[in-house]
Chain A
Amino acid sequence: MFDLSILFPSILNGLTTGAVYALIALGLTLIYGVLHIINFAHGASLMLALYAVYFLKERWGIDPYMALPIAVMGMFALGYALQRIVINRAGHGKDENILLATLGIAIVMENLALLFFKSDTRSIDTAYSLSTVAIGPAMIAVPKLVAFAGALAVSGILFWIMGRTDLGRAIRAVAKEKEGAKLMGIDVDHVYAMSFGIGLACLGAAACFLLPAYYVNPQVGGGFVLVAFTIVVLGGMGSFVGALVGGFLVGVVESLGGLYLGESLGQIGIFAIFIGVVLFRPQGMFGARA
Chain B
Amino acid sequence: MAEFLSLHDAVARYVEDGATVAMEGFTHLIPFAAGHEVIRQKKRDLTLVRMTPDLIYDQLIGAGCARKVIFSWGGNPGVGSLHRLRDAVEKGWPRKIEILEHSHAAMACAFEAGAAGLPLAVLRGYVGSELPNVNDQIKFIECPFTGERLAAVPAVRPDVSIVHAQKADRAGNVLVEGIVGVQKEAVLAARQSIVTVEEIVEDLTVESDYHPNTCIIPGWAIDAIAVAEKGALPSYAHGYYPRDNRFYKEWDAIARDRDAFTRWLDENVYKAGGEA
On whether the two chains bind one another, the answer is no
Task: Give the interface of B toward A (CB within 8 A).
Answer: none
